[in-house]
């Protein structure tokens, strides 16, 4: 048995039956785990709700290589590197493009899984190749961006959880840089906007709104921002004046789930030692000694109350792991 409480940022009491630390690609090629297994990076988007009766396979692969090409810088990074440290390192080397994605928690290997994005930039824009070990069929695979089937916070890796252990991601960073500043608060930065100014503003904003998981355990945004039809939005606007939405296509919009939770008066909600973060209602926090069952109960309560008023079904963004693997709310 291995304690998992320090291996996921929500820090719920939990253990796993077996634990494999992957520090070299050779570790993977000899791996034949019994089901169930769970692939873990930094545990910032995972909540172990109870003891997991399986094998946790932890990505501890390290290494960053930088190669200059005529129009790009190629950055090849091992999956177990920390995402924000990579963004900071590139910033200090004046390699620009990822500054909008500063301070997103998690590992580099997890970045393509969710196609992480923030403030108008998605990681898929810079990915050249993802290298992964197929844990089920035991072979190497190489994914171009189209093979990755990237969508909004989505990819082929997310669609087949547990199959692909991402060992390496290579990024092509264009030497010609264009700032992306159309999201608030970056649209208020003084001209000419620099990559350093974006990096600093994103960090300042995230620190103001999001609790530091090393102080207040949490797993970032707990629910996805839901996409609804324009007709559904019209109904919502009559019930909830000022509802925040952004266009996705001619017929659909994305709703700010945090706004819904906040404006339905659920900010003060808590179950036992799990509560809603007062500064950004999309984040649920462990107020100390929380149990997995309390997190599930609070998440279900929020889901039910949002659905009752809006007809919108919030889906968790965080992966919830029970005794036999992934569970739904
Ligand atoms: P926020 O800034 O309050 O935004 C809430 C929602 O509104 C998001 O869905 C965001 O779009 C959307 N939005 C805001 N301004 C927009 C614009 N000008 N045009 C189109 N859509 C707009 O969100 P937050 O929770 O404080 O997070 C800050 C940023 O970090 C957001 O971009 C958020 O998506 C991102 N984030 C990413 C992850 C992840 O990758 N796993 C986790 C947490 C937060 P987007 O969804 O397109 O950003």
- DSSP per residue over 45-101, as a string? SEEE-S-EEEEEEEE----EEEEE-SSEEEEEEETTSBHHHHHHHHHHTT--S-GGG
Q: Which residues pair with 320 in a beta bridge?
A: 47, 327
- The number of C-alpha atoms within 13 Å of 59 and in the hemisphere containing its C-beta is 29
How is domain 64-205 classified at the architecture level of CATH? 2-Layer Sandwich (3.30)
Compute the residue count for the chain.
329
Q: Which of 157, 170, 161, 171 is nearest to 114 (CA)?
A: 157
Q: Check if 36 has its Cβ closer than 6 Å to any atom of ligand 1.
A: no
Domains 2-59 and 64-205 fall in the same CATH topology: no
- Residue pair 40/77 in contact (Cβ under 8 Å)? The answer is no
Q: Check if 220 has its Cβ closer than 6 Å to any atom of ligand 1.
A: yes
pLDDT digits (tens, 9 = 90+) for 308-329: 999 999 999 999 999 999 999 8
Q: Which residues pair with 127 in a beta bridge?
A: 171
Q: Check if 104 has its Cβ closer than 6 Å to any atom of ligand 1.
A: yes
Give the pLDDT band of residue 231 (cuts 50, 70, 90): very high
- Alpha carbon of 284 to ligand 1 centroid (Å): 17
CB neighbours of 21 closer than 8 A, spacing ≥ 6?
27, 58, 60
Q: Cα–Cα distance between 64 and 107 in angstroms, integer?
A: 13
Q: Does domain 212-326 have CATH number 3.40.50.410?
A: no
Q: Check if 83 has its Cβ closer than 6 Å to any atom of ligand 1.
A: no
Domain boundaries, the chain: 2-59, 64-205, 212-326
Instruction: Tell me which DSSP letter residue 213 carries.
Output: T
The SS3 of residue 308 is: helix
pLDDT of residue 15: 98
- Alpha carbon of 172 to ligand 1 centroid (Å): 24
pLDDT of residue 111: 98
The SS3 of residue 106 is: coil
- Alpha carbon of 138 to ligand 1 centroid (Å): 37
Give the pLDDT band of residue 120 (cuts 50, 70, 90): very high
pLDDT of residue 126: 98
* Nearest residue by C-alpha to atom 1 in ligand 1: 256
Output b/e per residue, 30-43; b: 16+ Cβ within 10 A. Answer: ebebeebbbbbbbb
Catalytic residues: 153, 221, 317
Q: Cα–Cα distance between 220 and 281 in angstroms, integer?
A: 10
Phi first, then psi: give them for residue 37, nearest 5 degrees: -130, 165
Give the pLDDT band of residue 213 (cuts 50, 70, 90): very high
- Alpha carbon of 249 to ligand 1 centroid (Å): 17
Q: Does domain 2-59 have CATH number 3.30.43.10?
A: yes
Pocket test for ligand 1, best of 99, 227, 246 (most atoms within 8 A of CB): 246
- Residue pair 59/166 in contact (Cβ under 8 Å)? The answer is yes
pLDDT of residue 103: 97
Q: Check if 255 has its Cβ closer than 6 Å to any atom of ligand 1.
A: no
Give the pLDDT band of residue 222 (cuts 50, 70, 90): very high
pLDDT of residue 7: 98
Q: What does R_g of the chain's alpha carbons equal in angstroms?
A: 20
| Mean pLDDT over each residue of the chain, to the nearest integer | 97
- Alpha carbon of 202 to ligand 1 centroid (Å): 12
102-115: average pLDDT? 97
pLDDT of residue 322: 98
Q: Check if 282 has its Cβ closer than 6 Å to any atom of ligand 1.
A: yes
Q: Check if 112 has its Cβ closer than 6 Å to any atom of ligand 1.
A: no
* Nearest residue by C-alpha to atom 13 in ligand 1: 246
């Amino acid at each position: 048995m291995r304690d998992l409480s320090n291996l996921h940022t929500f820090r719920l009491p939990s253990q796993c039956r077996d634990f494999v630390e992957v520090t070299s690609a050779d570790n993977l090629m000899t791996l034949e785990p019994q089901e169930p297994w769970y692939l873990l990076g930094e545990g910032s988007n995972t909540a172990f709700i109870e003891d997991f009766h399986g094998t946790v396979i932890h990505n501890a692969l390290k290494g960053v290589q930088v190669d200059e090409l005529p129009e790009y810088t190629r950055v090849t990074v091992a999956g177990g590197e920390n995402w924000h440290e990579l963004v900071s390192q590139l910033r200090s080397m004046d390699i620009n493009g990822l500054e909008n994605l500063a301070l997103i928690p998690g590992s580099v290997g997890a970045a393509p899984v969710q196609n992480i994005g923030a403030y108008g930039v998605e990681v898929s824009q810079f990915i050249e190749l993802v290298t992964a070990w197929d844990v089920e069929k035991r072979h190497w695979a190489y994914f171009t961006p189209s093979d990755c089937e990237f969508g909004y916070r989505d990819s082929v890796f997310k669609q087949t959880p547990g199959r692909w252990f991402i060992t390496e991601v290579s990024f092509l960073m264009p030497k010609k840089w264009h700032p992306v500043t159309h999201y608030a608060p970056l649209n208020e930065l003084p001209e000419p906007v620099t990559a350093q100014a974006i990096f600093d503003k994103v960090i300042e904003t995230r620190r103001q709104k999001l609790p530091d998981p090393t102080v207040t355990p949490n797993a970032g945004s707990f629910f996805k921002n839901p996409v609804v039809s324009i007709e559904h939005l019209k109904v919502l606007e009559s019930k909830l004046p000022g509802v925040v939405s952004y266009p996705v296509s001619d017929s659909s919009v994305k709703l700010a789930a945090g706004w819904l939770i906040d404006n339905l008066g659920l900010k003060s909600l808590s179950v036992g030692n799990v509560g809603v973060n007062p500064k950004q209602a999309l984040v649920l926090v462990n107020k100390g000694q929380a149990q997995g069952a309390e997190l599930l109960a609070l998440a279900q309560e929020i889901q039910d109350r949002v659905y009752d008023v809006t007809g919108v079904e919030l889906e968790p963004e965080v992966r919830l792991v029970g005794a036999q693997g992934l569970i739904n709310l």
